[in-house]
Structure 1
Amino acid sequence: MEAFQYQALNAAGRTTSGVVQADTARQARAQLRAQGLLPSMIKQVHARERAQQVWARGIAATELSLVTRQLATLLDSGLTLEQSLNALIEEAADPMTREVLTGVKTEVTSGQSFAGALGAYEKSFPDFYRALVHGGEESGALPTVLQHLADYLDARQALKQKTSLALLYPVLVTIVAIMIVTGLLVYVVPQVVQVFQQSRQSLPLLTRTLIALSDFLRATWPYLLVIIGSGFAAARIALRRDATRRRVHSLLLRTPWLGPLVRGFNTSRFASTLSILVGGGVPLLSALASGARVMTNMVLREAVEHAIERVREGASLARALGETRAFPPLLIHLVASGEVSGKLEQMLDRAAHLETQALERRLTVFLTLLEPVMILVMGGIVLLIVLAILLPIIEINQLVH
């Protein structure tokens, strides 16, 4: 079947659009009429073209987890991949999910592998997702891999929501504080200080500095906005280069507080990926290659690639990972225990769980310390502004008395 994009009028006379599957455009029109729709436009859409149309959007994280779990259940029940995708398309309530799944099914029916079909929709299916699906296809354990992947997506989404809620208060405090300080410097300070300037008295250094800063901001704020915007654009362009991105990633790992967070996040994802793939029967070298692709930090990814070469030469996984000195000792010890006991999957899963717990604790401590620090910094800035305004007033009072 092919995918056809349509526009039609419903019984209420309103325009509706979507995607329908059919062998020909005539069959697509017949399906729409059977649903009580009057088609005004029918257009065949190829998967690559559909991928470009939904590039800026994608399946929501919660929806992706649900679709993954449903697909695992359908495949485990004995349905083929095409039949499972058909069922998911029919049941999908979200139009975007339906369109993406339709495009994926079109790619699959044209001869693409499932992982290859997902590659046309990178916005909906990230690198680690496609890497795990590729490993599951190679091992023939795709339903098991998808089930574990759904569990992992649920856990990651829960951690993301917890982090977002924790960051909400500091972000709001920062935005409000910046607005208040900017308002004071641009509008309040010039009007108050004008009185002191007219009195022709010698102003304190702090007050003169504040006046100079206020004048600078009022005169240059359009240029500052352009400079900031250009800086962000230049940074994005620079980060597209592997050498620049590697230096930044290396710096992140060495940064206090932030470095352990980055290392813990990547270690948890790496251990989860290996656990899922090894449990699904994927050969260790192939599982490590998939694990390297899910790493977001280039330094850690290169460490995994080095470990792959050492394992290929005959070294144990624990020794290969330990030689890189890039991963926490906890992971190395548990991997070594798993290799000796023959329970590598369970030890990797335990390592991922422990690293996730450690990551959550670090995030909690980091955010707990961040809030008072931000309040103190912003309070100190406001205090300086108030002192700069009050000092001339105090001096005038002393002269009067």
Structure 2
Amino acid sequence: MLFKYEGFDKEGKKIKGKIEADSENEAKEKLNSLYITDIKPVKKIDFNFSFTKVPKKELIKTFNTLGLYLKSSIPLVSALNLTKNQSENNKIIKFLDYLQQSIKEGKSLYNSLESQKIIKLPSYVKSTIKVGEESGKLDIVLIEIARFLKDENRLSSKTSQALIYPLFIIIVAVFTVSFMLTTVVPKIVKVFQNLHEQLPTITKIVIASGNFLKNNFLFIFAAILILIITYYIFYTKNRKFKLLIHKILLKIPIIKQIIIAKELGRFSYLTSTLVNSGVNYINAVNLAVNTIQNEAIKEKFEKALKDVIEGKKLSVSLKKAGFNYDISFLQAIALGEETSQIDTVLKNLSEIYFEENEARINTLLSLIEPALIVIVGGTIGFIVTAMLLPMFSMNIIK
């Protein structure tokens, strides 16, 4: 099996490459002389857009329940069995049953999660669980993971629910405009042709648009489909292309603030959780950096991580790396490092970012709805005006 990896060599230089191994653990053993920050198998193109085949709420409930049982001093195997008995989701039951059997065979929870193929988990979840096992704070880590996923899921669900109405408007608008251009407009055009009248420019534009859409519908549909597939392939397989898209997103007002707050909030929360679980600060930063999804922001953190490994402060390293997305974040980090209260500062930062993001998302959604109504109404109004204008002109002439 082929794995690709990224990290740093003994001299602190960034490296990346590919290596053959039977498992991820074997690949890590072969690379134990290097400081590896990310390793994952090279996969074929997968058009499954879902993150996991089970609802996030089920995953959150599972981690939280398991953590609470462990906190009550119940052994891991028994806790897995009790959690399994409380679930009604077949995937979760199968997932927990596999973990239970694997742990009975002597494997750790982390190794069991690595070997299972039932539910796809983010690498940071597995890495955090590994840290929790090693530090003896697995119960706390599982509860914190559940809390973190719950906060993220709450924002995602709220956004998805709020976007249902705007999405409905867009779909109705597309079908309405397409119907008008391909069915209604051609019938009115026949009337104008019989009268041999000179048509206004906007009427000609609408007629030409209708004819083009009607005559090239399959071509347009195929072109859009090809563009979507091509974009997906480049976005998932080409980091430079992904980096370009992410840089563009960071230039769009409101969207920029939402992305920055989301990424810094996630980084702050996970780093504070890991430090509180007894993880070395450098390792905690390393694990948290790997959870950053925006490549432009991640690039700055990866540059800073190299200096952090050498013993420099994160705040100084980020500033040196050109991080200028949120100066207050750097100031807060610097304060936490100076007072040795970095875990507390990061926890407070994560709460602030989550609250700010919720407000920004509400603002964005409140702007989208009226904007769509204006655009849709304007488009339909333009078509209707283009069809009525010749009639008014003929009446005036008469």
Q: TM-score, normalised by structure 2?
A: 0.82
- 1:18-37 counterparts in 2 under 5 A? none
CA 132–338 in structure 1, closer or farther in 2 if over 3 Å, else same: same
Q: Which amino acid aligns with 2:273?
A: I
Q: Distance in 2 between matches of 1:356 and 1:129?
A: 19
Q: Once the 2 structures are TM-superposed, how far is the Cα of residue 281 of structure 1 from its aligned partner?
A: 0.8
Question: Residue 66 of structure 2 contacts residue 79 of structure 2 at CA under 8 Å; is this kept in 1?
Answer: yes
Work out which of the residue numbers 124, 129, 149 in structure 2 matches 1:128. 124
Q: Deviations over 1:251-272 (max 9, x none)?
A: 2222333222211111111111
The 1:57–1:313 alpha-carbon spacing in structure 2 relative to 1, beyond 3 Å, is closer
- Name the CA distance, whole Å, in 2 between partners of 1:344 and 1:130: 23
- The C-alpha deviation readout for 1:140-162, integer Å capped at 9, x for no partner, is 32111111112212222221222
Q: Distance in 1 between matches of 2:118 and 2:296?
A: 23
How far is 1:327 from its partner?
A: 4.5
1:176-325 paired onto structure 2 within 5 Å: 176-239=172-235, 240-324=237-321, 325=323
How far did residue 57 of structure 1 move?
A: 5.5
How far is the alpha carbon of 1:112 from its aligned partner?
Answer: 4.2
Q: State the Cα distance separating 1:273 from its structure 2 match.
A: 0.5
Aligned 8 A contact 1:338 1:347 in 2:
yes
CA drift of 1:114 comes to 2.2
Q: Give the aligned length.
A: 346
For residues 75-90 of structure 1, what are the structure 2 equivalents within 5 Å? 75-90=70-85
For 2:250, give the aligned amino acid. L
- Assess, with a 3 A threshold, how the Cα gap between structure 1 residues 296 and 326 changes in structure 2: closer, same or farther: farther
Moved more, 137-146 or 273-282: 137-146
Distance 1:131 1:167 in 2: 33
- The whole-number CA distance in structure 1 between the counterparts of 2:344 and 2:287 is 18
Q: Classify 1:287/1:57 alpha carbon distance in 2 versus 1 (closer, same or farther; 3 Å).
A: closer
Q: 1:188 to 1:123 in 2, by over 3 A?
A: farther
Partners of 1:386 and 1:111 in 2: CA distance: 73
The structural deviation recorded for 1:110 is: 4.5
Q: Distance between the aligned counterparts of 2:325 and 2:130, measured in 1?
A: 25
CA distance in 1, matches of 2:113, 2:294: 23
Whether the 8 Å contact between 1:288 and 1:304 is mirrored in structure 2 is no
Residue 138 (structure 1) aligned with residue 131 (structure 2): no
CA 1:256–1:312 in structure 2 vs 1: closer, same or farther (change >3 Å)? same
**Unmatched segments (≥5 aa) in structure 2:** 1-49
RMSD between aligned alpha carbons? 2.0
CA distance in 1, matches of 2:325, 2:397: 67
Please say if residues 138 and 282 of structure 1, whose CA atoms lie closer than 8 Å, have aligned partners that are also in contact. Answer: no
Correspondent of 1:73 among 65, 68, 73: 68
Q: What is the aligned partner in structure 2 of residue 357 from structure 1?
A: 355
Distance of 1:232 and 1:106 partners within structure 2: 42
- 2:127 and 2:182 mapped to 1: Cα distance? 52
Say whether the 8 Å CA contact 2:258–2:360 is kept in structure 1.
Answer: yes
Q: Match for 2:374: what amino acid?
A: L
360-369 or 317-326, larger mean C-alpha shift: 317-326
Could you list the per-position Cα deviations for residues 196-231 of structure 1 after superposition, in whole angstroms to 9, with x for gaps in the alignment? 011111111111111111111111101111111111
Query: What SS does the corresponding residue of 2:355 show, helix, strand or coil?
Result: helix
Matches of 2:169 and 2:89, distance apart in 1: 35
**1:300/1:164 CA distance change after superposition, 3 Å:** same
Q: Distance in 2 between matches of 1:260 and 1:122?
A: 36
Deviates more, 1:82-91 or 1:366-375: 82-91
Contact 2:271 2:288 in 1 (8 A): yes
Please say if residues 170 and 370 of structure 1, whose CA atoms lie closer than 8 Å, have aligned partners that are also in contact.
Answer: yes
Query: What is residue 336 of structure 1 aligned with on the other side?
Result: 334
1:338-389 deviation digits (Å, cap 9, x = unpaired): 2222222111011001111111122122111111211111111111101110
The Cα of 1:321 is off from its aligned counterpart by 2.7
> 1:230-284 CA deviation, whole Å, 9 max, x = no partner?
1111111111122222222222222333222211111111111101101111001
Q: What is the distance in 2 between the residues matched to 1:86 and 1:146?
A: 16
Which residue number corresponds to residue 12 of structure 2?
A: none
Q: Give 3-state SS (helix, strand or coil) of 2:216's partner.
A: helix
Q: Deviations over 1:79-122 (max 9, x none)?
A: 33223222222332221210122223344444544234324348
Return the match for 1:101 from 73, 83, 96.
96
Write the distance in 2 (CA, Å) between the matches of 1:282 and 1:200. Answer: 82
Structure-2 change in CA distance of 1:56 and 1:285 (3 Å): closer
Over 3 Å counting, the alpha-carbon distance change for 1:113 and 1:295 in structure 2 is farther
CA distance in 1, matches of 2:293, 2:52: 21
Contact kept in structure 1, 2:263 and 2:293, CA below 8 Å: yes
The structure-2 alpha-carbon separation of the partners of 1:113 and 1:253, relative to structure 1 and needing over 3 Å to count, comes to farther
Q: Which moved more, 1:205-214 or 1:108-117?
A: 108-117
- Is the 8 Å Cα contact of residues 336 and 345 (structure 2) preserved in structure 1? yes
* Contact 1:318-1:335 within 8 A present in 2 as well: yes
- Residue matched to 2:18: none
3-state DSSP of counterpart to 1:254? coil
Are 2:261 and 2:356, in contact at CA under 8 Å, matched by a contact in 1?
Answer: yes
Which has the larger displacement, 136-145 or 390-399?
136-145
% identity of equivalent residues: 27
